[in-house]
Amino acid sequence: MADTINTTDQKTEAGQRPGQGETLKKVFRHLGKYRIFVAFSILLAAVSVALTLYVPKLTGYAVDYIVGPGQVDIPGAVSVMIQIGACTLVTALAQWLMNICNNKMTYQVVQDIRNEAFRKIEILPLKYIDGHPYGEVVSRVIADVDQFADGLLMGFTQLFTGIATIVGTFGFMLSVNVTITFVVVLITPVSFLVANFIARRTFSMFRLQSEIRGEQTGLIDEMIGNQKVVQAFGRGKDVTERFDEVNERLGKAYLKATFFSSITNPSTRFVNSLVYTGVGITGAFAVVNGALSVGQLSSFLSYANQYTKPFNEISGVVTEFQNAVACAQRIFDLIEEEHQTPEPADAVELSGVRGNVKAEDVSFAYEPDQKLIQHFNLKVKPGQRIAIVGPTGCGKTTLINLLMRFYDVDGGSISVEDTDIRKITRRSLRAGYGMVLQDTWLKTGTIRDNIVMGRPDASEEEVIAAAKASHIHSFIRRLPKGYDTWITEDGGGLSQGQKQLLCIARVMLCRPPMLILDEATSSIDTRTELKIQDAFAELMKGRTTFIVAHRLSTIREADVILVMKDGQIIEQGDHKSLLSAGGFYRHLYQSSLCSQERRG
């Protein structure tokens, strides 16, 4: 399923993917906040390059001071050596400061982008989260941002100095000899042609590499999170084969991207060797003819070498930058995803909730061509217990998602206290519900942290009272550090039932005006379940409660039972009236009893 979703996502993105230039514009917009560092970096690069290029000229003077035996101008040579030393020290200081500016600028930009991405995840509609493997999303925020940072840092560290070196060297060479400079300039465009040819082909390869890496991260995350299921069903070999297939594709993508990016350097070095050879031959003839001194030729050869060296570095930067831009594009794709429907400016805070809930002509589908809930109507009075039953896929959990506004309805409306929930702030709406799901969720932290999630300001007495009401207090007391015992998101050594009791304690502490219990006691033993049912009965007094149940034995005491099938309420009433009606509910109930007898 994850593969299908990921592949579909890639196809969708391919049709509307922005170009490389558009991505670079977004990068530069983020850089705009730190233009002061960019300015300092360019200035320091200019100083560093100017002094570096001045050294070969000084070296030429030194060579000319040493003409031959007995003809050495020692004071002149010493003076030049002191100047070279001073230039070297200032150059080193400038490069150190430039690296500080580049690092500061790069990691501030990366921090901003990562913060944007994380904030975007917080407001993305659940449709996006449900439709993408978690690991693939994590890969964008972690691995892709890291790759982008590496490329950006290399780009700023070498690009400024490289360009400044080319321009500066060109000026120094012109001041020495115009003819030989013309030879150098005539050959170097070949480096641009070679680098441009390779760069155009590497971008798509780096993009593919980044996408497959995200797919691999998603697969690893999925398999680690469900390792018990994989082992229980003996799917280890199949999972390994699937991983090997993805890994092989990633290896091929890496190989192609690395191969094309690797031929940049030797190609440009070959061109640089031609330049150096041309300078050497032309310069030798110039010395013989008296147009150049030996020292000037020495300086020119140094300049020719320095002039061509940045082409190698820039070619490497361009290759790395291709990878960085490809990763940046995936990050911006996430940041620019359509977020959940914004709340209206006049959205109201839900307060004084009594539990009036109404659904009028509600229609909803996860996919437009697969209808689920159609023309659904429901009216709930304060304090009623509404049980929702029906076969798998009939829309029970979907209805809960709509009540909590995790998804918006396609048609009709749902209102709480006669106010359309689309006109209520999501935060206040969800604060009005207490929800216990079949799937537990804990965060890394102490037992206390997990209980007070909904009420961080709760007192110790209130926390203990909630734990006692959910029948987990005695267990917590037996832990090494009691309520301060540290657990991870998977619950560590806690059983599934104990994790669910912690989630129930969380709701017991909040005591919200409305409750949603989605098979809340499914992982708890029968004896504890009876006690929890008593606690829930006390909690549900005066509170509107929606109970989603697969085990029909848990909903007999409901005031109203909604029997759903294919997104429609086909029967409605209490337990006795529905049984006597002899309809679909009776069939479900008898099937449930037969199943329990077989298990017994």
Low-confidence stretches of the chain (pLDDT beneath 70): 1-20, 67-72, 156-157, 188-189, 191-192, 194-196, 198-201, 203, 225, 228, 232, 264-265, 308, 311-319, 490-492, 520-524, 528, 531, 550-554, 592-600
Q: What total number of domains does the chain contain?
A: 2
Is 225 part of a structural domain of the chain?
yes
| DSSP three-state, residue 307 | helix
Per-residue confidence (pLDDT) for residue 89, from 0 to 100: 92
∠ Cα 104 106 110 (to 5°): 115
SS3 sequence of 113-169: HHHHHHHHHHHCCHHHHHCCCHHHHHHHHHHHHHHHHHHHHHHHHHHHHHHHHHHHH
Q: Are residues 542 and 496 in the same domain?
A: yes
Q: What is the pLDDT of residue 98?
A: 86
Closest to 572 (Cα-Cα) out of 582, 581, 564, 562? 562
Examine the domain organization and report whether 448 and 524 are in the same domain.
Answer: yes
* 13 part of a folded domain: no
Same domain, 330 and 378: no
Residue 502 in any domain: the answer is yes
Distances (CA, A) of 564 to 367, 415, 577, 590: 20, 20, 16, 17
In the beta sheet, which residues pair with residue 358? 379, 415
Does residue 373 share a domain with residue 280? no
Q: Are residues 273 and 361 in the same domain?
A: no
Tens-digit pLDDT profile for residues 247-256: 888 888 888 8
* Beta carbons of 143 and 221 less than 8 angstroms apart: no
Domain with residue 219: its CATH number is 1.20.1560.10
Residue with tokens 């321009």: 167
Structural domain contains residue 185 = yes
Query: Are residues 115 and 161 located together in one domain of the fold?
Result: yes
- Pair 454, 539 in one domain: yes
**Is 16 inside any structural domain?**
no
Alpha-carbon Rg for the chain in angstroms: 35
A 10 A CB-CB count for 155 gives 21
pLDDT of residue 553: 58
**12 within some domain:** no
Question: Domain range for residue 518?
Answer: 357-599
Answer with the one of 266, 301, 335 that is the final residue of a domain: 335
pTM of the model: 0.63
The pLDDT assigned to 415 comes to 93
The CATH number assigned to the domain holding 573 equals 3.40.50.300
pLDDT tens, residue by residue, 260-285 = 777 766 777 777 777 777 777 777 77
Nearest to 504, CA basis, from 532, 546, 478, 526? 532
How far is Cα of residue 537 from the mean position of the Cα atoms in its chain?
A: 42
Query: Which pLDDT does position 495 carry in this prediction?
Result: 78
Q: Same domain for 285 and 403?
A: no
In 3D, which of 529, 590, 577 has the Cα closest to residue 554? 529
